[in-house]
Amino acid sequence: MKKMMKMFGLVLVAVTLSTMVATAASTSKWQGDVSTSWVNGQNWNGDMPDGDFVAKFDDEFILDAHQPAIGTQADNGAVLEQIRVTNPAQDVTITADDGAGGTGGAINLDRLGGTTASSKRSIDMSAASKNLTIVGGGKLVERNNDANSHYWAITGSGDLTVSTARFVLEQNLNLYIETDTGRTVTINSNSEELSGGASAADVFLSGDGLLVLNGTAGWTGQTKIGAGSTIQLGVSQALNTKSRLNMGDGTLKTGGYDNDFGVLDVNGVAVIDLQSFDHIQNWVRVCKGLEKAGTDFDYGARLTEICLLGNVAKRVNGLIRWDAENMRITNNEKANQYINTGYREGWSL
């Protein structure tokens, strides 16, 4: 009887292990030796990831290797359990090109299966030494196929930027963004929430890092700022007016936000920073094509002209009347000598 029980136990363990192996995600490493094509197997160490796979970027992704691009050659884009960045030799940029009819150019994340937070990560940068950027005219999709809790772990030494045309959260999905001191997650994409679920999608921010929202927000569930975390709003629609904003001991920087909140819950010592972006931040965002300069050339040229005319008025010690169209001073001919002067020796334009 004891032998039978032992044999039964061994069989049970074997079945359990077999099931675990069968459901475990395989890991493929991007090398980019041949081209940018995601579906070219020669670019991978391992099978081309499709389905229960982890796409990993480590030291096998060397300098000057091709960055991956997902386009119409993949009918439904890439379907992954997880994107993992550890120690590649260069920053990682994944391009999701716009696919015809919306079928290609998508990165679909199902997340790893498991019961702990670390086993539920759809983006794992907990050991990252480089940055990850996801760009293109396609979309990044957090799917609610296996479980409704997905985690982004941005706790290593790299930052995450999402700049696809669309960022999609399926309903009933909770997205937990874990950050660490000095880390930044930037979402430039316009986000949307797929319908059909019983509840709306929620986004939770934890850790001491920064989440920057520069796109129009489509999720209508809760947006929660945890203790030590900071959310910076870059545009007027960065939060959906139907979304509940829940603040613990975190910081909200309103920045470029100019809209109503749905419901604002404050449960702790929260900081709401109403100061707008300063000139330096505005200049950086202009360079990225995210907004118009607060003092663009149309405005700045006139302002500079006024300042220079002030110098001329000081030189002649009197009132001057300026004809901007003809670039002449009309009431003091002597003052015109300062309008179009020659350059000093050694200088030219």
Q: Across the 349 residues of the chain, what is the mean pLDDT of every consecutive 10-residue run?
A: 44 38 73 94 90 92 95 69 96 84 71 76 97 94 81 97 93 92 95 74 94 91 93 88 88 80 82 70 76 72 83 90 90 90 80
Cβ neighbours, 10 Å, residue 285: 22
Query: If you search the block for the tokens 């965002």, which residue do you land on?
Result: 285
Supply the pTM of this predicted model.
0.72
Domain spans of the chain, in order of start? 24-287, 297-338
Residue type present at position 35: S
* Angular region, 197: left φ>0, alpha ψ -120 to 50, beta rest: beta
Which pair of tokens denotes residue 245?
Answer: 């904003």
Which pair of tokens denotes residue 9?
Answer: 């136990």
How is residue 115 annotated by DSSP? S
Predicted confidence at residue 254, as pLDDT, reads: 84
Predicted confidence at residue 141, as pLDDT, reads: 92
The string of DSSP codes covering 270-298 is -EEE-PPP-HHHHHHHHHTTSS--TT-HH
- With beta carbons less than 8 A apart as the criterion, state whether 213 and 187 touch: yes
Q: What stretch of H or E contains 252? A: strand 251-253
CA distance 225 to 276: 19
Residue type present at position 22: A
Q: Are strands 322-323 and 328-329 parallel, antiparallel or unpaired?
A: antiparallel
Which pair of tokens denotes residue 101?
Answer: 């009819």
CA distance 118 to 130: 20
Half-sphere exposure of 229 (CA within 13 A, CB side): 24
Predicted confidence at residue 296, as pLDDT, reads: 73
Query: If you search the block for the tokens 């520069």, which residue do you land on?
Result: 214
Predicted confidence at residue 17, as pLDDT, reads: 38
Predicted confidence at residue 40, as pLDDT, reads: 92
Query: If you search the block for the tokens 């760009």, which residue do you land on?
Result: 135
Which pair of tokens denotes residue 19?
Answer: 């099931």
